[in-house]
Structure 1
Amino acid sequence: MLANTSSKKISHRLLNFIDFVNSLTMEQLNHFFFTIINATPSSSVVMIMFASMVAKYVIFIIPLLLVGLWLWGPSDRIVLLRQLLVKTAIALIFALCVAYLIGHLFPSDRPFVENFGYTFLFHAPNNAFPSNHGSAIFTFALAFLFWHRLWSGISLMIVALTIAWSRIYLGLHWPLDMLGAFFVGLISCFLSQHGWCLWGNSIMRKLLRFYRYCFASLIRKGWVNN
Protein backbone atom coordinates (compact mmCIF):
# COMPACT_ATOMS: atom_id res chain seq x y z
CA MET A 1 0.00 0.00 0.00
CA LEU A 2 2.80 2.40 0.94
CA ALA A 3 4.64 1.50 -2.26
CA ASN A 4 1.56 2.29 -4.35
CA THR A 5 1.09 5.63 -2.58
CA SER A 6 4.76 6.58 -3.12
CA SER A 7 4.55 5.56 -6.77
CA LYS A 8 1.46 7.72 -7.28
CA LYS A 9 3.18 10.71 -5.64
CA ILE A 10 6.24 10.32 -7.86
CA SER A 11 4.07 9.98 -10.97
CA HIS A 12 2.06 13.05 -9.97
CA ARG A 13 5.21 15.12 -9.42
CA LEU A 14 6.68 13.93 -12.70
CA LEU A 15 3.51 14.90 -14.58
CA ASN A 16 3.53 18.31 -12.89
CA PHE A 17 7.17 18.80 -13.92
CA ILE A 18 6.40 17.80 -17.53
CA ASP A 19 3.45 20.23 -17.60
CA PHE A 20 5.70 22.96 -16.21
CA VAL A 21 8.40 22.33 -18.84
CA ASN A 22 5.81 22.26 -21.64
CA SER A 23 4.52 25.66 -20.53
CA LEU A 24 7.93 27.31 -20.99
CA THR A 25 9.24 28.97 -24.14
CA MET A 26 12.59 27.89 -25.61
CA GLU A 27 14.34 30.85 -23.97
CA GLN A 28 12.73 30.09 -20.63
CA LEU A 29 13.74 26.43 -20.94
CA ASN A 30 17.29 27.52 -21.71
CA HIS A 31 17.37 29.71 -18.60
CA PHE A 32 15.67 27.04 -16.49
CA PHE A 33 18.17 24.28 -17.28
CA PHE A 34 21.08 26.72 -17.02
CA THR A 35 19.95 27.60 -13.49
CA ILE A 36 19.86 23.90 -12.58
CA ILE A 37 23.40 23.23 -13.90
CA ASN A 38 25.20 26.52 -13.14
CA ALA A 39 27.42 26.60 -10.05
CA THR A 40 26.75 29.08 -7.25
CA PRO A 41 29.01 30.72 -4.65
CA SER A 42 28.02 27.91 -2.26
CA SER A 43 29.14 25.18 -4.70
CA SER A 44 32.07 22.94 -3.81
CA VAL A 45 35.45 24.53 -4.50
CA VAL A 46 36.72 21.12 -5.60
CA MET A 47 33.91 20.81 -8.17
CA ILE A 48 34.62 24.29 -9.52
CA MET A 49 38.34 23.48 -9.83
CA PHE A 50 37.53 20.16 -11.54
CA ALA A 51 35.14 21.87 -13.96
CA SER A 52 37.75 24.55 -14.71
CA MET A 53 40.35 21.91 -15.57
CA VAL A 54 37.87 20.08 -17.81
CA ALA A 55 36.68 23.27 -19.51
CA LYS A 56 40.20 24.50 -20.27
CA TYR A 57 42.31 21.43 -20.97
CA VAL A 58 40.33 18.29 -21.88
CA ILE A 59 39.64 19.68 -25.37
CA PHE A 60 43.32 18.99 -26.17
CA ILE A 61 42.41 15.31 -26.39
CA ILE A 62 41.44 16.08 -30.00
CA PRO A 63 44.88 17.06 -31.40
CA LEU A 64 46.64 14.55 -29.14
CA LEU A 65 44.60 11.63 -30.45
CA LEU A 66 44.70 12.80 -34.07
CA VAL A 67 48.49 13.16 -34.08
CA GLY A 68 49.21 10.21 -31.79
CA LEU A 69 47.09 7.71 -33.71
CA TRP A 70 48.44 8.91 -37.07
CA LEU A 71 52.07 8.53 -36.01
CA TRP A 72 51.90 5.55 -33.64
CA GLY A 73 48.57 3.80 -34.24
CA PRO A 74 48.41 -0.01 -34.59
CA SER A 75 50.37 -0.84 -37.75
CA ASP A 76 48.01 -3.66 -38.77
CA ARG A 77 45.09 -1.20 -38.95
CA ILE A 78 46.93 1.97 -39.88
CA VAL A 79 45.35 2.41 -43.33
CA LEU A 80 41.77 2.34 -42.06
CA LEU A 81 42.74 4.30 -38.96
CA ARG A 82 44.28 7.10 -41.01
CA GLN A 83 41.20 7.27 -43.20
CA LEU A 84 39.16 7.73 -40.02
CA LEU A 85 41.52 10.47 -38.80
CA VAL A 86 41.39 12.39 -42.07
CA LYS A 87 37.59 12.14 -42.25
CA THR A 88 37.44 13.34 -38.65
CA ALA A 89 39.79 16.25 -39.37
CA ILE A 90 37.64 17.26 -42.35
CA ALA A 91 34.52 17.06 -40.16
CA LEU A 92 36.23 19.29 -37.58
CA ILE A 93 37.02 21.88 -40.24
CA PHE A 94 33.38 21.82 -41.35
CA ALA A 95 32.25 22.11 -37.72
CA LEU A 96 34.31 25.22 -37.02
CA CYS A 97 33.18 26.82 -40.29
CA VAL A 98 29.51 26.02 -39.64
CA ALA A 99 29.77 27.28 -36.04
CA TYR A 100 31.44 30.49 -37.26
CA LEU A 101 28.72 31.12 -39.85
CA ILE A 102 25.87 30.44 -37.42
CA GLY A 103 27.49 32.65 -34.81
CA HIS A 104 27.75 35.57 -37.21
CA LEU A 105 24.30 35.10 -38.73
CA PHE A 106 22.54 34.58 -35.39
CA PRO A 107 24.68 36.19 -32.67
CA SER A 108 23.77 35.48 -29.05
CA ASP A 109 25.20 36.64 -25.74
CA ARG A 110 26.83 34.48 -23.11
CA PRO A 111 25.12 34.20 -19.70
CA PHE A 112 27.54 36.59 -17.97
CA VAL A 113 26.96 39.23 -20.66
CA GLU A 114 23.27 39.13 -19.72
CA ASN A 115 24.24 39.22 -16.02
CA PHE A 116 22.50 35.89 -15.58
CA GLY A 117 23.75 33.26 -13.16
CA TYR A 118 27.32 33.00 -11.87
CA THR A 119 30.63 32.90 -13.74
CA PHE A 120 33.74 31.16 -12.40
CA LEU A 121 36.09 31.27 -15.40
CA PHE A 122 37.15 34.31 -17.40
CA HIS A 123 36.10 34.38 -21.04
CA ALA A 124 35.85 37.07 -23.70
CA PRO A 125 32.26 38.28 -24.21
CA ASN A 126 32.06 36.88 -27.74
CA ASN A 127 29.31 34.87 -29.39
CA ALA A 128 27.82 31.99 -27.41
CA PHE A 129 25.80 29.92 -29.92
CA PRO A 130 26.88 27.37 -30.89
CA SER A 131 29.77 26.59 -28.56
CA ASN A 132 33.08 26.21 -30.42
CA HIS A 133 34.37 23.80 -27.78
CA GLY A 134 31.13 21.85 -27.99
CA SER A 135 31.12 21.82 -31.78
CA ALA A 136 34.67 20.44 -31.87
CA ILE A 137 34.32 17.76 -29.20
CA PHE A 138 30.85 16.58 -30.28
CA THR A 139 32.06 16.33 -33.89
CA PHE A 140 35.08 14.33 -32.72
CA ALA A 141 32.95 11.98 -30.61
CA LEU A 142 30.33 11.49 -33.33
CA ALA A 143 33.04 10.78 -35.91
CA PHE A 144 34.40 7.90 -33.81
CA LEU A 145 30.86 6.74 -33.08
CA PHE A 146 29.96 6.63 -36.78
CA TRP A 147 33.26 5.53 -38.31
CA HIS A 148 35.25 3.65 -35.66
CA ARG A 149 33.88 1.48 -32.85
CA LEU A 150 30.92 1.84 -30.55
CA TRP A 151 33.04 1.78 -27.39
CA SER A 152 35.39 4.53 -28.57
CA GLY A 153 32.49 6.69 -29.72
CA ILE A 154 30.62 6.28 -26.42
CA SER A 155 33.80 6.98 -24.42
CA LEU A 156 34.42 10.20 -26.35
CA MET A 157 30.75 11.15 -26.08
CA ILE A 158 31.08 10.94 -22.29
CA VAL A 159 34.10 13.24 -22.56
CA ALA A 160 32.09 15.60 -24.79
CA LEU A 161 29.17 15.71 -22.35
CA THR A 162 31.58 16.37 -19.47
CA ILE A 163 33.11 19.33 -21.32
CA ALA A 164 29.63 20.62 -22.17
CA TRP A 165 28.58 20.31 -18.51
CA SER A 166 31.73 22.08 -17.27
CA ARG A 167 31.24 25.11 -19.49
CA ILE A 168 27.61 25.49 -18.45
CA TYR A 169 28.50 24.83 -14.81
CA LEU A 170 31.09 27.63 -14.88
CA GLY A 171 28.66 30.06 -16.52
CA LEU A 172 30.30 30.32 -19.94
CA HIS A 173 27.51 28.81 -22.03
CA TRP A 174 23.80 28.14 -22.13
CA PRO A 175 22.52 24.55 -22.47
CA LEU A 176 21.15 25.52 -25.88
CA ASP A 177 24.68 26.41 -27.02
CA MET A 178 25.72 22.81 -26.39
CA LEU A 179 22.62 21.35 -27.99
CA GLY A 180 23.36 23.46 -31.06
CA ALA A 181 26.96 22.23 -30.99
CA PHE A 182 25.75 18.63 -31.04
CA PHE A 183 23.72 19.28 -34.20
CA VAL A 184 26.71 21.08 -35.74
CA GLY A 185 28.63 17.84 -35.15
CA LEU A 186 25.95 15.79 -36.91
CA ILE A 187 25.90 18.14 -39.91
CA SER A 188 29.70 18.23 -40.11
CA CYS A 189 30.05 14.44 -40.05
CA PHE A 190 27.44 14.20 -42.81
CA LEU A 191 29.32 16.76 -44.95
CA SER A 192 32.64 15.02 -44.32
CA GLN A 193 31.22 11.63 -45.31
CA HIS A 194 29.73 13.10 -48.48
CA GLY A 195 33.01 14.81 -49.36
CA TRP A 196 34.97 11.65 -48.62
CA CYS A 197 32.86 9.64 -51.07
CA LEU A 198 33.76 12.16 -53.78
CA TRP A 199 37.40 13.06 -53.06
CA GLY A 200 38.57 10.79 -50.23
CA ASN A 201 41.05 8.66 -52.18
CA SER A 202 42.66 11.69 -53.81
CA ILE A 203 42.97 13.53 -50.49
CA MET A 204 44.46 10.46 -48.82
CA ARG A 205 47.09 9.93 -51.53
CA LYS A 206 48.25 13.53 -51.39
CA LEU A 207 48.37 13.62 -47.60
CA LEU A 208 50.38 10.39 -47.40
CA ARG A 209 52.81 11.63 -50.03
CA PHE A 210 53.31 14.88 -48.13
CA TYR A 211 53.64 13.09 -44.77
CA ARG A 212 56.17 10.54 -46.06
CA TYR A 213 58.24 13.31 -47.61
CA CYS A 214 58.30 15.42 -44.42
CA PHE A 215 58.83 12.49 -42.02
CA ALA A 216 61.08 10.35 -44.24
CA SER A 217 63.95 10.36 -41.74
CA LEU A 218 61.78 9.36 -38.77
CA ILE A 219 60.01 6.68 -40.82
CA ARG A 220 63.35 5.12 -41.85
CA LYS A 221 64.44 4.99 -38.21
CA GLY A 222 61.18 3.31 -37.29
CA TRP A 223 60.20 6.05 -34.85
CA VAL A 224 56.84 6.64 -36.56
CA ASN A 225 54.58 4.63 -38.84
CA ASN A 226 55.13 4.68 -42.58
Structure 2
Amino acid sequence: MESLNHTFFLWLNAPEHPSALALTLATFFAEQLIWAVPLLIGIGWLRGGEPTRKTMLVASASGLLGLLINQIIGLAWLHPRPFMIGLGHTLIPHVADSSFPSDHLTLWWAVAFSLALQRGPRIAGVTLALLGVPIAWARIYLGVHFPFDMLGAIAVAAICAWLTLREAHWYLLPSYQLSTGIHRRLFSGLIALGWVRE
Protein backbone atom coordinates (compact mmCIF):
# COMPACT_ATOMS: atom_id res chain seq x y z
CA MET A 1 0.00 0.00 0.00
CA GLU A 2 2.78 2.42 0.89
CA SER A 3 4.57 1.82 -2.41
CA LEU A 4 1.29 2.57 -4.23
CA ASN A 5 0.93 5.74 -2.15
CA HIS A 6 4.45 6.79 -3.18
CA THR A 7 3.77 6.00 -6.84
CA PHE A 8 0.58 8.07 -6.93
CA PHE A 9 2.40 10.89 -5.14
CA LEU A 10 5.18 10.98 -7.72
CA TRP A 11 2.60 11.10 -10.53
CA LEU A 12 0.91 14.14 -8.99
CA ASN A 13 3.87 15.94 -7.44
CA ALA A 14 5.32 19.01 -9.19
CA PRO A 15 8.31 18.68 -11.49
CA GLU A 16 11.59 20.22 -10.42
CA HIS A 17 10.82 23.41 -12.38
CA PRO A 18 7.03 23.89 -12.51
CA SER A 19 5.40 26.61 -14.58
CA ALA A 20 4.65 29.88 -12.82
CA LEU A 21 0.91 29.47 -13.52
CA ALA A 22 0.73 25.97 -12.04
CA LEU A 23 2.70 27.07 -8.99
CA THR A 24 0.48 30.12 -8.43
CA LEU A 25 -2.74 28.12 -8.77
CA ALA A 26 -1.49 25.31 -6.55
CA THR A 27 -0.32 27.74 -3.87
CA PHE A 28 -3.69 29.51 -3.90
CA PHE A 29 -5.61 26.24 -3.55
CA ALA A 30 -3.22 24.81 -0.99
CA GLU A 31 -2.79 27.82 1.31
CA GLN A 32 -5.33 30.58 0.66
CA LEU A 33 -8.67 28.94 -0.17
CA ILE A 34 -9.00 27.42 3.31
CA TRP A 35 -9.94 30.90 4.58
CA ALA A 36 -13.25 30.53 2.74
CA VAL A 37 -14.41 28.17 5.52
CA PRO A 38 -14.27 30.62 8.47
CA LEU A 39 -15.46 33.40 6.14
CA LEU A 40 -18.52 31.40 5.09
CA ILE A 41 -19.32 30.39 8.67
CA GLY A 42 -18.82 33.95 9.91
CA ILE A 43 -21.06 35.50 7.25
CA GLY A 44 -23.68 32.82 7.82
CA TRP A 45 -23.66 33.54 11.53
CA LEU A 46 -23.67 37.34 11.28
CA ARG A 47 -26.28 37.64 8.55
CA GLY A 48 -28.39 34.51 9.07
CA GLY A 49 -31.35 33.75 11.27
CA GLU A 50 -31.60 31.00 13.88
CA PRO A 51 -31.75 28.05 11.41
CA THR A 52 -28.67 29.28 9.53
CA ARG A 53 -26.76 29.90 12.73
CA LYS A 54 -27.54 26.43 14.02
CA THR A 55 -26.40 25.01 10.69
CA MET A 56 -23.11 26.88 11.04
CA LEU A 57 -22.65 25.59 14.58
CA VAL A 58 -23.13 21.98 13.47
CA ALA A 59 -20.68 22.52 10.59
CA SER A 60 -18.16 24.07 12.99
CA ALA A 61 -18.57 21.13 15.38
CA SER A 62 -17.92 18.76 12.48
CA GLY A 63 -14.71 20.55 11.52
CA LEU A 64 -13.43 20.75 15.10
CA LEU A 65 -14.18 17.09 15.76
CA GLY A 66 -12.31 16.18 12.58
CA LEU A 67 -9.22 18.09 13.70
CA LEU A 68 -9.40 16.46 17.14
CA ILE A 69 -9.59 12.97 15.63
CA ASN A 70 -6.65 13.77 13.35
CA GLN A 71 -4.56 14.81 16.35
CA ILE A 72 -5.32 11.49 18.04
CA ILE A 73 -4.42 9.57 14.85
CA GLY A 74 -1.19 11.56 14.52
CA LEU A 75 -0.21 10.77 18.10
CA ALA A 76 -0.94 7.08 17.64
CA TRP A 77 0.78 6.78 14.24
CA LEU A 78 3.36 9.21 12.94
CA HIS A 79 3.25 8.98 9.15
CA PRO A 80 6.07 11.06 7.62
CA ARG A 81 5.41 13.67 4.97
CA PRO A 82 7.08 13.23 1.56
CA PHE A 83 9.85 15.73 2.30
CA MET A 84 10.63 13.93 5.57
CA ILE A 85 11.72 10.88 3.58
CA GLY A 86 13.30 12.84 0.71
CA LEU A 87 10.58 12.00 -1.81
CA GLY A 88 9.59 14.32 -4.66
CA HIS A 89 9.72 18.11 -4.67
CA THR A 90 8.46 20.33 -1.86
CA LEU A 91 7.56 23.85 -2.93
CA ILE A 92 6.01 25.32 0.23
CA PRO A 93 7.26 25.21 3.82
CA HIS A 94 5.52 22.90 6.27
CA VAL A 95 6.08 21.61 9.79
CA ALA A 96 7.55 18.10 9.86
CA ASP A 97 4.57 16.46 11.58
CA SER A 98 2.38 13.50 10.70
CA SER A 99 0.81 13.70 7.26
CA PHE A 100 -2.13 11.31 7.75
CA PRO A 101 -4.89 12.36 7.52
CA SER A 102 -4.66 15.84 6.04
CA ASP A 103 -5.85 18.40 8.61
CA HIS A 104 -6.42 20.91 5.84
CA LEU A 105 -8.78 18.68 3.87
CA THR A 106 -10.39 17.15 6.95
CA LEU A 107 -11.51 20.60 8.09
CA TRP A 108 -12.63 21.57 4.59
CA TRP A 109 -14.55 18.39 3.85
CA ALA A 110 -16.01 18.05 7.36
CA VAL A 111 -17.63 21.47 6.98
CA ALA A 112 -18.61 20.79 3.36
CA PHE A 113 -20.19 17.40 4.12
CA SER A 114 -21.99 18.83 7.14
CA LEU A 115 -23.53 21.61 5.05
CA ALA A 116 -24.43 19.13 2.30
CA LEU A 117 -26.26 16.91 4.79
CA GLN A 118 -28.39 19.75 6.17
CA ARG A 119 -31.48 21.18 4.51
CA GLY A 120 -30.72 24.81 3.76
CA PRO A 121 -27.13 25.02 2.50
CA ARG A 122 -26.85 21.79 0.49
CA ILE A 123 -25.69 23.53 -2.70
CA ALA A 124 -23.00 25.40 -0.78
CA GLY A 125 -21.93 22.13 0.84
CA VAL A 126 -21.70 20.26 -2.47
CA THR A 127 -19.78 23.18 -4.02
CA LEU A 128 -17.30 23.19 -1.14
CA ALA A 129 -16.92 19.42 -1.35
CA LEU A 130 -16.06 19.65 -5.06
CA LEU A 131 -13.59 22.47 -4.40
CA GLY A 132 -11.81 20.10 -2.04
CA VAL A 133 -10.56 18.14 -5.05
CA PRO A 134 -8.23 20.89 -6.41
CA ILE A 135 -7.14 21.62 -2.84
CA ALA A 136 -6.16 17.96 -2.42
CA TRP A 137 -4.30 18.03 -5.74
CA ALA A 138 -2.46 21.20 -4.74
CA ARG A 139 -1.30 19.81 -1.39
CA ILE A 140 0.14 16.78 -3.19
CA TYR A 141 1.52 18.82 -6.09
CA LEU A 142 3.40 21.09 -3.70
CA GLY A 143 4.86 18.12 -1.86
CA VAL A 144 3.36 18.27 1.63
CA HIS A 145 0.91 15.34 1.42
CA PHE A 146 0.46 11.89 -0.02
CA PRO A 147 -2.70 10.86 -1.93
CA PHE A 148 -3.73 8.44 0.84
CA ASP A 149 -3.68 11.38 3.29
CA MET A 150 -6.60 12.76 1.30
CA LEU A 151 -8.52 9.48 1.43
CA GLY A 152 -8.05 9.52 5.19
CA ALA A 153 -9.35 13.09 5.31
CA ILE A 154 -12.48 12.12 3.36
CA ALA A 155 -13.17 9.23 5.74
CA VAL A 156 -12.67 11.27 8.91
CA ALA A 157 -14.68 14.21 7.52
CA ALA A 158 -17.61 12.01 6.48
CA ILE A 159 -17.76 10.33 9.88
CA CYS A 160 -17.59 13.67 11.69
CA ALA A 161 -20.28 15.29 9.53
CA TRP A 162 -22.62 12.35 10.09
CA LEU A 163 -21.88 12.07 13.82
CA THR A 164 -22.20 15.77 14.69
CA LEU A 165 -25.51 16.01 12.82
CA ARG A 166 -26.85 12.80 14.37
CA GLU A 167 -25.89 13.87 17.91
CA ALA A 168 -26.79 17.56 17.56
CA HIS A 169 -29.57 17.20 20.13
CA TRP A 170 -26.89 16.83 22.82
CA TYR A 171 -24.95 20.02 22.18
CA LEU A 172 -26.70 22.30 19.69
CA LEU A 173 -29.14 24.15 21.97
CA PRO A 174 -26.66 24.99 24.78
CA SER A 175 -23.94 25.96 22.28
CA TYR A 176 -26.45 28.11 20.35
CA GLN A 177 -27.54 29.90 23.53
CA LEU A 178 -23.94 30.48 24.61
CA SER A 179 -22.89 31.69 21.15
CA THR A 180 -25.89 33.99 20.86
CA GLY A 181 -25.14 35.56 24.24
CA ILE A 182 -21.53 36.22 23.21
CA HIS A 183 -22.69 37.53 19.84
CA ARG A 184 -25.05 40.07 21.43
CA ARG A 185 -22.32 41.38 23.72
CA LEU A 186 -19.68 41.64 21.00
CA PHE A 187 -21.87 43.14 18.28
CA SER A 188 -24.38 45.24 20.24
CA GLY A 189 -23.32 48.40 18.40
CA LEU A 190 -23.59 46.85 14.94
CA ILE A 191 -26.89 45.21 15.88
CA ALA A 192 -28.26 48.64 16.86
CA LEU A 193 -27.19 50.01 13.46
CA GLY A 194 -28.87 47.12 11.69
CA TRP A 195 -25.64 45.91 10.09
CA VAL A 196 -25.70 42.60 11.96
CA ARG A 197 -28.71 40.50 12.88
CA GLU A 198 -29.53 40.00 16.54
Residue 108 of structure 2 is aligned with which of 137, 143, 147? 137
Identify the residue that residue 202 of structure 1 maps to in structure 2: 174
Q: Residue 85 of structure 2: SS of its match in structure 1?
A: coil
Judged with a 3 Å threshold, the aligned counterparts in structure 2 of structure 1 residues 80 and 62 are, in CA distance, closer, same or farther, namely same
Q: Is the 8 A contact 2:6 2:146 kept in 1?
A: yes
Q: Residue 18 of structure 2: SS of its match in structure 1?
A: coil
Q: Give distance in 1, aligned partners of 2:135 and 2:63.
A: 17
1:51 aligns with 2:22: no
Residue 154 of structure 2 is aligned with which of 158, 182, 189? 182
Residue 41 of structure 1 is aligned with which of 12, 16, 24? 16
Q: Is the 8 A contact 2:190 2:196 kept in 1?
A: yes
Q: Give distance in 2, aligned partners of 1:133 and 1:216.
A: 33
Name the stretch that deviates more: 208-217 or 101-110.
Answer: 208-217
- Structure 1 segments, 4+ long, off by >4 Å, are none
Q: Give distance in 1, aligned partners of 2:116 and 2:179.
A: 24
Aligned residues: 197
Deviation at 1:84, TM superposition (A): 0.6
1:214 aligns with 2:189: no
Write the letter of the residue equivalent to 2:82. Answer: P
After the TM superposition, which residues 122-133 of structure 1 pair with which residues of structure 2 at under 5 Å, given as runs? 122-133=93-104
1:193 aligns with 2:168: no
Deviation at 1:213, TM superposition (A): 2.7
Identify the residue that residue 11 of structure 1 maps to in structure 2: none
Q: Give 5+ residue unaligned stretches, structure 1.
A: 1-25
Q: Is the 8 A contact 1:55 1:163 kept in 2?
A: yes
Q: Is the 8 A contact 1:94 1:191 kept in 2?
A: no
After the TM superposition, which residues 67-216 of structure 1 pair with which residues of structure 2 at under 5 Å, given as runs? 67-73=42-48, 78-147=49-118, 148-216=120-188
Q: Give distance in 2, aligned partners of 1:32 and 1:48.
A: 21
Identify the residue that residue 63 of structure 1 maps to in structure 2: 38
Q: Give distance in 2, aligned partners of 1:59 and 1:140.
A: 11
TM-score by length of 1: 0.82
Q: Give distance in 2, aligned partners of 1:150 and 1:81.
A: 12
Q: Residue 40 of structure 1: SS of its match in structure 2?
A: coil
Q: Give distance in 2, aligned partners of 1:178 and 1:65.
A: 22
Give identity over the alignment, percent.
Answer: 31
Deviation at 1:42, TM superposition (A): 4.2
Q: Residue 180 of structure 2: SS of its match in structure 1?
A: helix
Q: Give 5+ residue unaligned stretches, structure 2.
A: none
Q: Give distance in 1, aligned partners of 2:176 and 2:195.
A: 22
Deviation at 1:47, TM superposition (A): 0.2
Q: Is the 8 A contact 2:114 2:165 kept in 1?
A: no
Q: CA RMSD in A?
A: 1.4
Residue 223 of structure 1 is aligned with which of 185, 191, 195? 195
Q: Residue 43 of structure 1: SS of its match in structure 2?
A: coil
Q: Give distance in 2, aligned partners of 1:204 and 1:163.
A: 31
Judged with a 3 Å threshold, the aligned counterparts in structure 2 of structure 1 residues 215 and 149 are, in CA distance, closer, same or farther, namely closer
Q: Residue 138 of structure 2: SS of its match in structure 1?
A: helix
TM-score by length of 2: 0.93
